[in-house]
């Protein structure tokens, strides 16, 4: 006698072969066109669908789904991206090519924190020093691409509910014609402090004797509350020229960072991005793109939720220490793609200005006298870049590129007295409050598909 599972399989096969002929009738579907861009061996793309199907709370945590990427966690949200062991200023984290400088000196608010899932289409990652379009991509590039607008009217909504009273919701509406399009959206997310495998909240990591532990009333308070608003509009000026304008505002409140000594009272971000693209302006030029942007961050953090802020003879305010930080970044770029010989030449010029100012007040320093943690630092940078791609054979491509950067930095509130009394003690050479440098960057790549 045959085993039961084998006899069942034979019965299914017999029934399938015995179906009438009309059940196997061929059905013709309409043509399905799939378009994509070629991704090189050092590039990867994460789609928003993959992000939403993960338990990630922000872009930094979602990017960890890509091999070679992980994140540095300081709280329930605002994870900092680490690419092949490199982080902070060794990698670029941008949105549509726009730079954002967080306010916190301890990176409470890394660049990826200032984008919401609902305004994202995909995340592009370049691993290694192979991106020459943007200055500072020594370890790699993470470029977040904003949502595209589909033809006609559109509406989408998303709701995620999770453990620890996690709530993430968003609404997006759009309208597009042949010549104009507009998209607007809103997102809100909040959560209580998550727990570890032992059932302890992340706000309970400090021992009972530590002054850094949270006050009893704040142990189970909201871990974060974030509101994000954005708008995107596009206009087709003619059959070759298109312009886009992106606006966004994010208001984060009561964000807890148990791994640090302070928490964020608020973190407010504004973004403005304008682009104009001309397709095939001439027989040789395939594309010209002009971009200008501005971003601003206002960040206030303190230890008001910790035991360290309990009133004493020295602590006469609601906090023992507080830092008020703000940043401003604006820049522009002009780039183009040129057919040159058997290959393609990409090149352009870009520049940006960044200001970072952070003032700290502490009961331990001259009774809350303000001191410059980041002393009103200006950074101005301009660069030229060029990259040539040559398809040497059907399965072989050679790419080479060069970038030249000039940068000037100055600490406007760092006077000689503070240099000598605070920083010079730890240095063997003389320190100055401003500096400039000129640096080249180049690479040569060989891609072969066996």
Q: How far apart are CA 347 and CA 333, in angstroms?
A: 11
- Categorize the per-residue pLDDT at 300 as very low, low, confident or very high, splitting at 50, 70 and 90: very high
Give the mean pLDDT of 65-69. 82
Query: What is the average pLDDT value for the chain, to the nearest integer?
Result: 85
User: Which backbone phi and psi does 4 adopt, to 5 degrees?
Assistant: -60, -45
How many angstroms separate the CA atoms of 309 and 101, rounded? 29
**CATH 2.40.170.20 is the classification of domain 150-448:** yes
Q: In the predicted model, what is the mean pLDDT of residues 52-81?
A: 82
Cα of 116 vs its chain's centroid, Å: 9
- What's residue 40's pLDDT? 53
Print burial letters for 377-408: b (CB count within 10 Å at least 16), e (below 16). Answer: bbeebbbebebbbbeeeeeebbbebebbbebe
Nearest to 229 by CA among 188, 185, 267, 190: 185
* Cβ atoms of residues 360 and 321 within 8 Å: yes
Residue range 174-184, pLDDT digits in tens: 999 989 999 99
- Give the start-to-end residue ranges of the domains of the chain: 150-448
> What is the number of other CB atoms lying within 10 angstroms of the CB of residue 310?
10
pLDDT number for residue 10: 46
Q: What is the pLDDT of residues 91-138, one digit of tens each?
A: 888 989 999 888 988 888 898 889 888 888 888 888 888 888 888 888
Q: Cβ distance 171 to 183 under 8 Å?
A: no
Measured CA to CA, the distance from residue 425 to residue 231 in angstroms comes to 50
What average pLDDT score do residues 366-371 get? Answer: 86
**Taking 90 as the threshold, does the pLDDT of residue 83 lie above it?**
no
Contact indicator for 112, 92 with CB cutoff of 8 Å: no
Provide, rounded to the nearest whole percent, the portion of the chain with pLDDT above 70: 89
Three-state secondary-structure class, residue 195:
strand
Residue 82, pLDDT score = 87
Sequence length of the chain is 450
Nearest one of 389, 378, 369 to 414, comparing CA atoms = 378
Query: 12 versus 322: which is more confidently predicted?
Result: 322
**Per-residue pLDDT, 250:** 95
Q: Mind listing the pLDDT tens digit for each residue in 2-56?
A: 455 445 444 444 444 444 444 446 666 666 655 555 555 567 777 767 666 667 7
Q: How far is 340 from 348, CA to CA, in rounded Å? A: 15
Q: Is 231 within 8 Å of 323 (Cβ atoms)?
A: no
Q: Are strands 263-279 and 285-302 parallel, antiparallel or unpaired?
A: antiparallel
Q: Using CA atoms, how far apart are residues 401 and 133, in angstroms rounded to an integer?
A: 10
385-388-389 Cα angle (round to 5): 140
* Other CB atoms within 10 Å distance of the CB of residue 366: 10
State residue 247's pLDDT score: 95
The pLDDT, as a whole number, for residue 289 is 94
Instruction: Give the pLDDT of residue 52.
Output: 66
Residue 22's pLDDT is what?
Answer: 43
Whole-number Å distance between alpha carbons of 316 and 322: 13
The predicted pLDDT at position 139 comes to: 83
Adjacent-strand bridge partners of 340 = 343
Greater model confidence, 51 or 416: 416
Are the beta carbons of 93 and 134 closer than 8 angstroms? no
Q: What is the pLDDT of residue 117?
A: 82
Distance from C-alpha of 358 to C-alpha of 299, rounded to nearest angstrom: 9
Q: pLDDT by residue (tens digit) across 252-283? A: 999 999 999 999 999 999 999 999 999 888 88
Mean pLDDT computed over 415-420: 76
Q: How far apart are CA 437 and CA 159, in angstroms?
A: 49
> Of 349, 348, 407, 356, which Cα lies nearest the Cα of 377?
356
The model's pLDDT over 285-298, given as tens digits with 9 standing for 90+, comes to 888 999 999 999 99
Specify the pLDDT at position 29: 67
pLDDT the model gives residue 50 = 67
Using the predicted structure, report yes or no on whether residue 73 has a pLDDT greater than 70: yes
What is the per-residue pLDDT for 30? 66
More confident site: 310 or 7 = 310
pTM value is 0.82
Strand order in the sheet with 224-236: 152-162, 166-176, 180-191, 224-236, 241-255, 263-279, 285-302, 321-340, 343-362, 371-393, 396-411, 434-448
């Amino acid at each position: 006698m045959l085993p039961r599972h084998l006899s069942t399989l034979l019965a299914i096969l017999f029934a399938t072969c015995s179906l009438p002929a009309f059940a196997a009738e061929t059905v013709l579907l309409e043509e399905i066109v799939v378009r994509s861009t070629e991704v090189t061996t050092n590039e990867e793309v994460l789609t928003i669908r993959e992000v939403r199907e993960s338990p990630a709370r922000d872009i930094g945590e979602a990017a960890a789904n890509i091999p070679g990427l992980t994140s540095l966690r300081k709280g329930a949200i605002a994870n900092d991206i680490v690419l092949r062991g490199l982080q902070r200023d060794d990698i670029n984290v941008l949105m549509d090519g726009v730079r954002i400088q967080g306010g916190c000196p301890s990176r409470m608010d890394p660049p990826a924190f200032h984008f919401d899932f609902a305004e994202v289409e995909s995340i592009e990652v370049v691993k290694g020093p192979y991106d020459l379009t943007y200055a500072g991509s020594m370890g790699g590039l993470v470029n977040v691409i904003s949502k595209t607008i589909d033809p006609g009217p559109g509406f989408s909504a998303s709701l995620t509910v999770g453990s620890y009273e996690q709530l993430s919701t968003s609404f997006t509406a759009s309208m597009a014609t042949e010549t104009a399009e507009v998209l607007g959206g809103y997102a809100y997310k909040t959560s209580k402090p998550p727990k570890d495998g032992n059932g302890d909240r992340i706000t309970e990591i400090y021992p009972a004797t530590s002054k850094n532990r949270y006050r009893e009333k704040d142990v189970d308070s909201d871990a974060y509350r974030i509101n994000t608003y954005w708008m995107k509009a596009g206009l087709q000026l003619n059959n070759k020229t298109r312009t886009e304008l992106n606006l966004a505002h994010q208001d984060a409140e009561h964000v807890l960072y148990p791994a640090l000594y302070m928490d964020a009272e608020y973190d407010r971000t504004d973004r403005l991005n304008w682009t104009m693209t001309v397709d095939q302006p001439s027989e040789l030029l395939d594309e010209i793109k002009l971009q200008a942007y501005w971003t601003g961050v206002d960040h206030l953090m303190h230890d008001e939720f910790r035991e360290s802020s309990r009133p004493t003879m020295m602590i006469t305010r609601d906090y023992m220490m507080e830092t008020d930080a703000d940043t401003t970044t604006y820049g522009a770029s002009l780039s183009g793609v040129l057919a040159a010989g058997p290959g393609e030449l990409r090149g352009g010029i870009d520049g940006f200005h960044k200001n970072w100012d952070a003032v700290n007040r502490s009961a331990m320093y001259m009774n809350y006298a303000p001191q410059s943690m980041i002393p009103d630092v200006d950074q101005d940078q301009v660069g030229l870049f060029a990259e040539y791609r040559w398809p040497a054979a059907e399965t072989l491509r050679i790419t080479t590129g060069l970038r030249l950067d000039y940068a000037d930095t100055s600490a406007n509130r760092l006077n000689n007295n503070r240099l000598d009394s605070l920083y010079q003690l730890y240095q063997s050479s003389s320190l100055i409050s401003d500096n400039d440098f000129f640096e080249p960057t180049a690479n040569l790549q060989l891609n072969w598909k066996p």
